[in-house]
Structures are given as C-alpha cells and as structure tokens.
C-alpha cells in the first residue's frame, strides 16, 4: 500500500511539473521574440509579422534592382523614407509624375501600381 501511494505521488508531481513547464513556455517564447533584430547567420531576424511582410514585399518587388545597404542597378533603399516623404514615394511607385532624382543612376524605377498604401507602409518600415 505504501508503494502504491509513493507511485501515485510521483505521478502527480511529474504531471504538475510538466503542467508548470507547459504554462511557462509561451513566456519564454515571448522573451525570445522581444530580442533585438540582430543579424543571425547573415540574415536579419524579425520579431514582428509586419517586418516579415515588408521583407516579402521588398524581395518580390525591389530586390531584383535594389539592396538595403549596397549599390546595385538601383540605389540602396535603407532609410529611404528619411530622404523622401511617404507621399513622394507612394506617387513614384504608382507611376505618377513625381520624380526622384539621383545623379548616380540613369535608370528609372519600374512602376508598382499593384502596391497598396499598406504595402508601401510595410515596405518602408522594413527598409528603416
């Protein structure tokens, strides 16, 4: 009988331990996701969904001609929203009569009328 009580007590303690760890796991994941967006294995780690979406928009529409920090066919786009206001960038990407002049590049950017204002906002938050 004593052996039975010991086994039941151990099972209950192990179960409570597992329950405690299961409840603490989301807190540990949140702490990890709150870390600084630093480079990890040569790529940026993103903690927010909007940063991930902005990166997807950049890779789909801009990465063929631009990089964030290096010159390519087009100029680097890191902190582009500090150089130009959002309305100018929006009009430029939608192909309206706004010009963005850059002496180093003779090519003109392709128009992206399919990008919504929200898409451009996500893109600008990624480039910042």
* 3-class DSSP string for 30-87: HHHHCCCCCEECCEECCCCHHHHHHHHHHHHHCCCCCCCCCCCCCCCCCCHHHHCCHH
> Dihedral through CA 84, CA 46, CA 109, CA 86, nearest 10?
-30
Specify the pLDDT at position 36: 45
The model's pTM is 0.55
Kindly give the confidence (pLDDT) of every residue in the chain, 128 residues in length, as a single tens digit, with 9 standing for 90 and above: 889 999 999 999 988 888 887 777 665 555 444 444 444 444 454 445 667 888 888 888 888 888 888 888 878 888 888 888 888 888 888 887 656 667 677 667 778 888 888 888 888 888 88
Contacts of 17 (CB under 8 A, 6+ apart): none
């Amino acid at each position: 009988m004593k052996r039975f009580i010991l086994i039941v007590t151990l099972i209950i303690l192990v179960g409570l331990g597992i329950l405690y760890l299961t409840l603490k796991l989301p807190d540990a994941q949140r702490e990890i996701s709150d870390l600084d967006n630093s480079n990890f294995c040569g790529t940026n780690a993103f903690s927010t969904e909007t940063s991930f979406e902005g990166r997807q928009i950049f890779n789909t529409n801009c990465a063929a001609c631009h990089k964030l920090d290096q010159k390519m066919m087009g100029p680097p786009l890191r902190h582009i929203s500090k150089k130009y206001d959002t309305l100018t960038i929006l009009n430029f990407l939608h192909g309206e009569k706004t010009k963005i002049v850059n002496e180093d590049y003779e090519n003109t950017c392709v128009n992206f009328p399919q990008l919504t204002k929200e898409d451009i906002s996500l893109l600008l938050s990624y480039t910042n």
